[in-house]
Amino acid sequence: MTTYQIDKKNIYRYLEEIKDPEVPVLSIIDLGIVRDIKMNDDEIEVIITPTYTGCPAMDMITTTIKIELATLGFKKIKVTQALSPAWTTEWMSEEGKRKLKEYGIAPPNPKQQVCDQKLFAAAEAVQCPHCDSYHTHRISEFGSTACKALYQCDDCKEPFDYFKCH
Amino acid sequence: MNLQNLINYSLHLADNSLILGQRNAGWCGHGPVLEQDIAITNISLDLIGQARNFYQYAATLINQLTNKPINPATEDSLAYLRKEREFRNCLLVEQPNGDWAQTILRQFFFSQYQYLLFEQLQNGKDGQLAAIAEKSLKEVTYHLRWSGEWVIRLGDGTEESHKRMVKAIEELWRYTGEMFIPADYEKQTGIDFNKIKEEWNEKINIVFSEASLIPPSGGGGAFMQTGGKEGIHTEHLGYILTELQYMQRAYPGCVW
């Protein structure tokens, strides 16, 4: 590592460029899945945590991180997955939540209202990302990807994805 | 716990999730409505994700045991190249999809069990198993709520849906008892199976009474089939593996 002067802060800036392949407006930093970076000369280890256990995007993210870091001159690149403590939507950055809404996906509510076992509990009040109305209803708890639920707005009638609490 | 028991235990947990994940995946494109087709396959994906974590851990342990093996175990070799008798999943998860009622009830019985098991496992002695349980528990909560709501919807629905739920209970009840009987490799895990059994029956009774369903006479004391945890399966597992393992058996080592 003689030609580059790279510190952790710079690495984070590079990782900012890596997007979630399924929600391409969110970087892996926005998602809060990068937990730590360990550097030693031309060796680097990035510790990430999966959002959902079966999320198929994780393998792709791992590969992209390796490719990005290789272009910076690192010889030994390791991406380690840490499961504990488990990822939570609370780790998503405010910037990330703003970007999600702009993209048309309702960001996760800050309070985890539905992560309990109660059956037929009233659906969470989720704001429509299109018209900002709270008059919305849940169509299905499971959506197009593991991390999303399906909602519809009762005012503007648009269906939308909600990044569900986790 | 000795290493061999820990390996067997990790494989048992992995096999449970893989086989139920494979079963649920069979609904892909066949769900009663689009949203529920998506729901059951999402659950399938979560289960296969759990299985991957458990298999990866088991593979690490196996390779540790067989110092520098020529063909190291991997998550793939464990899922695709083991024989029927080497699978240690519970009999419940390999039962056929049947109709929607049977699929729902199988999921509900298993999710309720998994929820109670992972609650204990996340505080268990083995760090990696605890981490996987902690991570999975959030998803299992969704599975449990979704399947519980469906049990009530069908049981307390029309005459036809009620009839189908009653039939599903008759089909599946005999496979539930096995989950609470610790196999040899589960005896040192520190998991309190009696507590799980008690709480499981309690929860099932609450949902059943709301669904106007009743457990078979004899309840938890009724005759129960066993053997899955030790590799003695119902005839269904062989057929599942035939489909699941076909590509690796026909084209060894093939990749996407």
* Contact present, B2 and B12 (Cβ < 8 Å): no
Element (H, E) at A77: strand A76-81
Residue B228 CA from chain centroid, whole number: 11
Q: Which of B255, B46, B75, B58 is CA-nearest to residue B142?
A: B46
Q: Which of B42, B53, B153, B209 has the highest number of chain A CBs within 10 A, making it the mutation to test binding with A?
A: B42
CA distance B26 to B44: 9
- CA distances to A1, A86, B60, B74, B198 from B69, rounded to whole Å, are 35, 32, 11, 12, 43
- pLDDT value of residue A2: 46
Cβ neighbours for B20, distance < 8 A, ≥ 6 positions apart: B47, B89, B93, B106, B107, B110
Residue A117 and residue B115: Cβ atoms within 8 Å? yes
CA distance B45 to B33: 18
Distance from the Cα of A97 to chain B's closest Cα (Å) equals: 21
* Contact present, B133 and B202 (Cβ < 8 Å): no
Give me the half-sphere count of Cα atoms (radius 13 Å) on the Cβ side of residue A163.
26
Residue indicated by tokens 């669904």 = B211
- CA distances to A84, A100, A143, B35, B86 from A105, rounded to whole Å, are 27, 5, 12, 18, 44
Residue A83 and residue B132: Cβ atoms within 8 Å? yes
Chain A positions in Cβ-Cβ contact with residue B127 (cut-off 8 Å): 84
| A120 at B interface, C-beta within 8 A | yes
Pick A40 or B104 by higher pLDDT: B104
Positive or negative, the Cα torsion across A119, A120, A125, A130?
A: positive
Chain B positions in Cβ-Cβ contact with residue A86 (cut-off 8 Å): 131, 134-135, 137-138
CA distance B82 to A92: 40
A114 pLDDT exceeds 70?
no
Among the listed ranges A28-32, B82-86, B95-99, B160-164, which one has the minimum average pLDDT value?
Answer: A28-32
Residue B35 and residue A140: Cβ atoms within 8 Å? yes
* Contact present, B111 and B47 (Cβ < 8 Å): no
A117 pLDDT exceeds 70?
no
Distance from the Cα of B151 to chain A's closest Cα (Å) equals: 11
pTM of the full structure:
0.92
Q: What is the pLDDT of residues B146-173, one digit of tens each?
A: 999 999 999 999 999 999 999 999 999 9
Distance from the Cα of A163 to chain B's closest Cα (Å) equals: 14
Tokens of B17: 């999730």
Distance from the Cα of B137 to chain A's closest Cα (Å) equals: 10
pLDDT-based confidence at residue A53 (cuts at 50, 70, 90): confident
- The burial class, CB within 10 Å (0-12 / 13-18 / 19+), for B205 is middle
**Percent of chain B topping pLDDT 70:** 100
Residue B139 and residue A53: Cβ atoms within 8 Å? yes
Tell me phi and psi for residue A87, to 5 degrees.
-60, 145
Residues B71-99 have a mean pLDDT of 97
Chain B positions in Cβ-Cβ contact with residue A116 (cut-off 8 Å): 141
Query: Which ipTM score applies to this complex?
Result: 0.84
Distance from the Cα of B228 to chain A's closest Cα (Å) equals: 25
Distance from the Cα of A87 to chain B's closest Cα (Å) equals: 8
Q: What is the pLDDT of residues B109-121, one digit of tens each?
A: 999 999 999 999 9
Closest CA in chain B for residue A139: B35
Find residues 3-42 of chain A whose CB sits inside 8 Å of chain B: none
For residue B113, which amino acid is it? Y
Of A52, A117, A142, the CB nearest to B49: A52
* Contact present, A145 and A90 (Cβ < 8 Å): no
CA distance A1 to A18: 22
Find residues 87-106 of chain A whose CB sits inside 8 Å of chain B: 87
Tokens of A91: 């780790």
